[in-house]
Structure formats: structure tokens, C-alpha cells
Amino acid sequence: METAAHDRIVEQALGWIDAGKGAALATVIRTWGSAPRQAGAQLAISSDAELMGSVSGGCVEGAVAAEALEALEDGACRVLSFGVSDEEAFAVGLACGGEIRVMVEPVGVGRGPDEALIRDLAAARAARRGAVYAVNPETWERRLILSGSGDPLEAEAAAARRADRSGFDESGAVFLGVHNPPLKMAVVGAVHIAQPLMQMARLTGYDPVLIDPREAFGSAARFPGEVISHDWPDEALAALGLDERTAIVTLTHDPKLDDPAIRAALRAPVFYLGCLGSKKTHAKRVDRLKEAGFSEEEIARIHAPVGLDIGAKSPAEIAVSIMAEVTARLRGAS
């Protein structure tokens, strides 16, 4: 499965350019009140008026697209301000209105960003390198800030990446657009819960991978269209690559399968590790991990029993509870 379309705005803009079209990027840079989208949300617009993404959930996309088409003609960047009325906000699922400010940049045209810069951004994304697109909306100076670049704003850019939150730097002059690597989820165990969980993970913006060496369980017939690995869990996770944008969920109840995945996860900077099983099952798991040399602090990273306690019963409800807990951990909620 490909990365969720809502996270491929930059790639789509370049795709239009490669097809001989023009492309502009519209980015939310400030919000007030109950704005439909957060800072950093993007919309790509082609010279044929094709759209991908969203800057307002539908309230102002038409106006932004019209300005983007003009920008592709005159080469001028612009910052647009919109007030979203209570009536418009209600139409897109909000209780009250707000204000948004949107930056429109024609790629490779006039004062817009060089095509090479946007390709460098896409390359960083493809390599799973966190990047920050820095732009001054007054002077239209731009650059990419990568880890280790020595940029004067590198510390602020790193903090923005960790928080996964775009916004202006402390001076209020430079907008820092965060482009973190796509989220990944490894689901160990092709059990019934994994079927809705894989679908929910993908809808939530993850690239999910199902891991189960038992081919009869992890079959394409049971999981149509999913990415499935029949390698042993520790080998599959090593091949996947574990980083701070990775969540791991183990579901088999079988120590021979779950434990190798858990040990690999505890030695990696994954942001979430959840394991299915009762408190009694987890107590035995803790004993095995202590015998294997893991500390209490390391073991405390495990969320077990997996998922928020919402009284879930069915496989789909349990999958909801798991995704809720993963989301809470990702976003820093208590």
C-alpha cells in the first residue's frame, strides 16, 4: 500500500510538473479560533486546476485554487487571509468559525520556490529524513533545514519536528513547515483483530505492515491488498527499519513470535509498543524480559494490555482502542 494520499502533496506537485504542467503549493501558516486545518496543512494545485490536499476542509479551497492559478501566471507569491464564518465552519464539522492565513507559492515560477528545492524536500521525505521547509513570507527567502545542517534555526526546527507541529520561529519571521517521515506500523500476528487494525492504521496515515511467519494465517486471502511479511518478527522488523515514527503492536499471544518483536522494539526508538494479553500474560512476559536482561525502565515502555480501556469486545472495537492509544502516545496526550 502507498502512503496515505493526504501526505503526498509535495510528490503530487512534482508529478504534475513532470507531466508538463504547472504546480503551486498552498500552505496554512497561521490559524486563529476553531480553524478547520492546522498550520502546515497543504493543498497542491495544478495549472489544469487539479487539487490534492486541503487547507480548510472545503471552506476556502476554491478561492485558494483561483489565487494559485493566478500565481502560476504572474509568478507572484501571496499570503491570503480568510475568516471562516460559523455557518461555513458548521458545514465542515466545526462548532464555530475561525481565521486562517494561507501562503501560496508557484513552484519554479517567479518568486516561488526553485523546483530543485522542492525535489530536495521530496528526496528527504523518500529517505525518511525529517525536514523543515523554512520560508520568510516577507522576503520569500527559503531553505531546507535537516538534522546536522548547522542552520541557525536547527534547534527550533528539531523541536518543531519532535512536536510534529509547523509554525513560525521565535522571531515570528520564518515559517517552519514540518515534513516528518510517514508513520509506520508493524502488526505482529495475523489474527482477527489485525484485519480491522490494518485498515484503521492506513486510514489514519500509517504505512502498515503485517508480520506473521505462519503463511496460512498471514495470507492475501485473509488480508487482501495488505503488505505482508512471512519472515520471523525480529528479521522483518530489522528489514522494516525502526525509528521514532514507528509503532509496533503484537497480537499473537505466542512468546515465540511476540517476544522477538518486543525485544527488537525495546532496543529501538519506536514511539509506541503495545502487546495483546491479560495482566497475567503480561506478568509472565515481564519475567521473561527481565531474565533476558531488560531493565524495568525499558519494560515500562510496553503498553499492556494493549489499547485504551473503552470496554471493547469485538475485534473491530479492540482495533479502535489500539488506534486510540497509539494516537494518544503520538500526540502526547495523557
Q: What is the pLDDT of residues 130-141, one digit of tens each?
A: 899 999 999 999
Compute and round to an integer the Cα radius of gyration of the chain.
Answer: 22
Query: Any alpha helices (H) in 127-211, and if so which ranges?
Result: 154-163, 194-203
Residues 143 and 6 in one domain: no
Strand positions, DSSP E, 142-277? 142-146, 167-168, 175-179, 183-188, 206-211, 227-229, 246-250, 272-275
Residues 195 and 326 in one domain: yes
Residues 101 and 2 in one domain: yes
Q: What is the pLDDT of residue 97?
A: 60
Residues 31 and 123 in one domain: no
Go through the chain and tell me how many residues it has: 334
Residues 191 and 319 in one domain: yes
Residues 228 and 177 in one domain: no
Q: What is the pLDDT of residue 164?
A: 87
- What nine digits make up the cell of 290? 527481565
- For residues 135 and 189, give the distance between their C-alpha atoms in angstroms, rounded to a whole number: 44
Residues 89 and 130 in one domain: no
Which one of 181, 200, 217 terminates a domain? 181
pTM of the model: 0.74
Those residues of the chain that have pLDDT short of 70 are: 1-6, 34-36, 57-58, 84-97, 334
Q: What is the pLDDT of residue 87?
A: 61
Q: What is the pLDDT of residue 332?
A: 79
- What nine digits make up the cell of 174? 520564518
- Domains held by the chain: number: 3
Number of Cβ atoms within 10 Å of the Cβ of 333 = 9
Residues 57 and 191 in one domain: no
The residue with cell 518483536 is 261
Domain encompassing residue 106: 1-112
Residues 166 and 190 in one domain: no
Q: What is the pLDDT of residue 94?
A: 45
**Strands 142-146 and 131-135, how do they pair?**
antiparallel
Q: What is the pLDDT of residue 2?
A: 41
Residues 104 and 29 in one domain: yes
Q: What is the pLDDT of residue 1?
A: 37
Q: What is the pLDDT of residues 13-41, one digit of tens each?
A: 999 999 999 999 999 999 877 666 789 99
Secondary structure letter of residue 4 according to DSSP: P
Which one of 159, 181, 203 terminates a domain? 181
Q: What is the pLDDT of residue 103?
A: 97
Which one of 128, 154, 181 terminates a domain? 181
The CA–CA distances, whole Å, from 166 to 59, 139, 175, 276, 304 equal 21, 19, 8, 34, 32
Do the beta carbons of residue 166 and residue 175 sit within 8 Å? yes
Residues 155 and 65 in one domain: no
> What is the CATH classification number for the domain harbouring 314?
3.40.50.720
Residues 176 and 193 in one domain: no
Mean pLDDT (the chain) is 91
Q: What is the pLDDT of residue 36?
A: 64
